[in-house]
Structure 1
Amino acid sequence: MSDVLMILLRSLGVFVLALFIIRFLGRRQTSQMTLFDFVTATVIGFIAASLVLKLVPVLPGLAALIVWTILPIFSYLLAFKYKWVRDIIQGKETVLINHGKVLEDKLLEARYTPEDLLSQLRRKNIFQVADVEFAVLEPNGDLSVLLKKDKMPVTPKTLGIEVANQSVPQTVMMDGEIIDEHLTALGLNRNWLLTELEKAAVAPENVFIAQVDSVGQLYLDLFDDALIVPRPKTKELAYANIKKCQADCELYALATKHQGAKKMYSNAAKELAQVVEELKPLLSR
């Protein structure tokens, strides 16, 4: 057997083995990797490459891969159970800024220069150290920052505005194919979806992605970007209809001379006003 064919077969075998090892070790992203994770991945990659290029015999190489797979998993299990093991393997977080003051001794301990600190802050769109109340260096090297209260971004809560909770939108179409499972989860069916597509004058085969939000609005992205899809107005129309019903009841109460009907319309207008107030955070934003 030629060397080229042997390398191809070894590469295929090591690829499958490495894929299994990676899935076995977990789904931690590169940005979340600690130094221990990086060293483990580097050693496993080096052993795999050595096996492919026949730099080491097969059996010792496989034994080394098994050891470097089992030991990290065993270490993670111990780290999950014991904090002192977690501190050794993953490291501890280090407070670099506390109450707006930079801790120089902690910078030295973390091998961080002032330029490193300023660079990390700029990556988070923070250009003044004075704006930072608290900053901690995580074991994976990321910098977590808490701004001072007067420097925090404005939120609906700080403005006293009530907003409704939202659930994750469901993708009901992809590449022109309807996903019945997601439609069923929303309590909808194909007839509803096809009717909405017909209202938007869009052919199903032209839909790249279709999503339905928590209030039943359909958002479409088409293969043909030249076509303009109308913006969903389900919430706005529902809000406007309720407001119109309230105004109609108030008008009927003023127009009628029948005391019973006047009272009925007045009560209905008050109830609708309460409904409008309760639904305003959901339908008007």
Structure 2
Amino acid sequence: MNILYVILTSICSIVALFVLTKLMGNRQLSQMSMFDYINGITIGSIAAEFATNLENPLHSFTAMVVYALAAIGISLCTCHSIKLRKFFNGQPLVLYSHNKLYKKNLACAKMDINEFLTQCRIAGYFDLNQLESAILETNGQVSFLPLAEQRPITASDLGVTLQPEVLPYYVVLDGKLIDANLQASGRDEKWLEKELHALGMTQLSDIFFAAIDTKGKLYAIPMLEEKRQHNCFE
């Protein structure tokens, strides 16, 4: 009987976590503030307690709701108050600028020079002379501003006018037609059949993925069941 009770409370905790997460907003770990991270760990721990607490599961559930409401309240406050936003989320921190490394700011960021250089290399900067500035953002990521002569040339630099980019339309996923996307693209099934036939494909079930690209052309990837034997990462 206790096993069944644990199963039921576990299912309830999963449902509760899902609902509370949707209310709080599901952001990636790298986008979380310190409060979001702490709150997420705490709610997860309470959810586990809720699933296994056979005597007073309601207490754990109430605590989960309180933490979630606190997160929602703080999120609303930070949206409307700059001072509270700075208090809960912090401020960006300049680590490097104009060929100067700021040791105190690195210390505030709990980051040593080796870790900073690692972050530079991950971003593609192996030479600090390529950088104008490096800033620690409030989500824990380091953003980099390259020197003007190191940044890629853009169309505006060359005086070239480009056509606006548009999002591609995914029209076939896992062998199934996404009819709403096909209609939104301004095409119909006859057009799709014609394009697929030109690519040597006749059955939707044989297509793993197909999309209409930004130029209005269809590209498709066939469904392959066999497993690739060679793994170049081994």
TM-score when scaled to structure 2?
0.89
* Equivalent position SS for 1:193: helix
- After superposition, residues 47-58 of structure 1 pair within 5 angstroms as 47-54=46-53, 57-58=56-57
Cα deviation code 1:124-182 (max 9, x no counterpart): 01111221101110111100100001111233443444432221111122233322222
Displacement of 1:5 in angstroms is 1.7
More helix by share: 1
Give the root-mean-square deviation of aligned CA atoms: 1.9
Q: Distance in 2 between matches of 1:56 and 1:155?
A: 64
- Quick one: which amino acid aligns to residue 38 of structure 2? V
Counterpart of 1:93 in structure 2 is 92
**Contact map agreement 2:137 2:143 (CA 8 A) in 1:** yes
State the alpha-carbon separation in 1 of the partners of residues 113 and 170 from structure 2: 46
User: Quick one: distance in 2 between partners of 1:122 and 1:57?
Assistant: 51
CA contact (8 A) 1:100 1:131 kept: no
Using the TM superposition, give the Cα deviation of residue 223 of structure 1 relative to its aligned residue in structure 2, in angstroms.
1.1
- The alpha-carbon distance between structure 1 residues 6 and 30, as it changes in their structure 2 partners (threshold 3 A), is same
Following TM superposition, by how much is the alpha carbon of 1:53 offset from its aligned partner in structure 2, in angstroms?
1.9
Q: What amino acid does structure 1 have at the position aligned with 2:25?
A: G
User: 2:171 is paired with a residue of what secondary structure?
Assistant: strand
Distance 2:169 2:72 in 1: 35
Report the 3-state secondary structure (helix = DSSP H, G, I; strand = E; otherwise coil) of the residue aligned with 1:151.
coil
Percent same amino acid at aligned positions?
Answer: 30
1:175 paired with 2:174, answer yes
Query: Greater shift after overlay, 56-65 or 30-39?
Result: 56-65
Quote the Cα distance in structure 2 between the aligned partners of 1:11 and 1:22.
16
Task: Map 1:93-112 onto structure 2 (within 5 A).
Answer: 93-112=92-111
Query: 1:1-285 counterparts in 2 under 5 A?
Result: 1=1, 3-54=2-53, 57-205=56-204, 206-224=206-224
Whether the 8 Å contact between 2:170 and 2:210 is mirrored in structure 1 is yes
Q: 1:135 to 1:55 in 2, by over 3 A?
A: farther
Where does residue 283 of structure 1 map in the other structure?
none
CA contact 2:6–2:54 (8 Å) conserved in 1:
no
- In the alignment, is the contact (CA less than 8 A) between 1:172 and 1:180 conserved in 2? yes
Judge conservation of contact 1:50–1:56 (CA < 8 Å) in 2: no
Distance 1:150 1:55, change over 3 A: farther
CA contact (8 A) 2:51 2:57 kept: no
How has the CA–CA distance of structure 1 residues 109 and 56 changed in structure 2, closer, same or farther, with 3 Å as cutoff? farther
* Larger RCO, structure (CA 8 Å, separation 6 or more): 2
> Number of matched residues?
225
**Aligned equivalents of 1:211 and 1:11: distance in 2?**
40
Give the CA deviation at 1:224: 4.1
Q: What is the CA-CA distance between 1:48 and the residue it aligns to?
A: 1.0
Matched residue SS, 1:39: helix
Q: Distance in 2 between matches of 1:125 and 1:41?
A: 32
Aligned twin of 1:243: none
Letter in 2 for 1:89: F
Which segment is superposed worse, 198-207 or 27-36? 198-207
* Mapped contact 2:13–2:47 kept (Cα < 8 A): yes
Structure 1 unaligned regions, length at least 5: 227-285
**1:81 partner amino acid:** H
Q: 1:215, CA displacement in angstroms?
A: 2.9
Q: Residues 55 and 140 of structure 1: is their aligned pair in 2 closer, same or farther, counting only changes over 3 Å?
A: farther
The structure with the largest alpha-carbon Rg is: 1
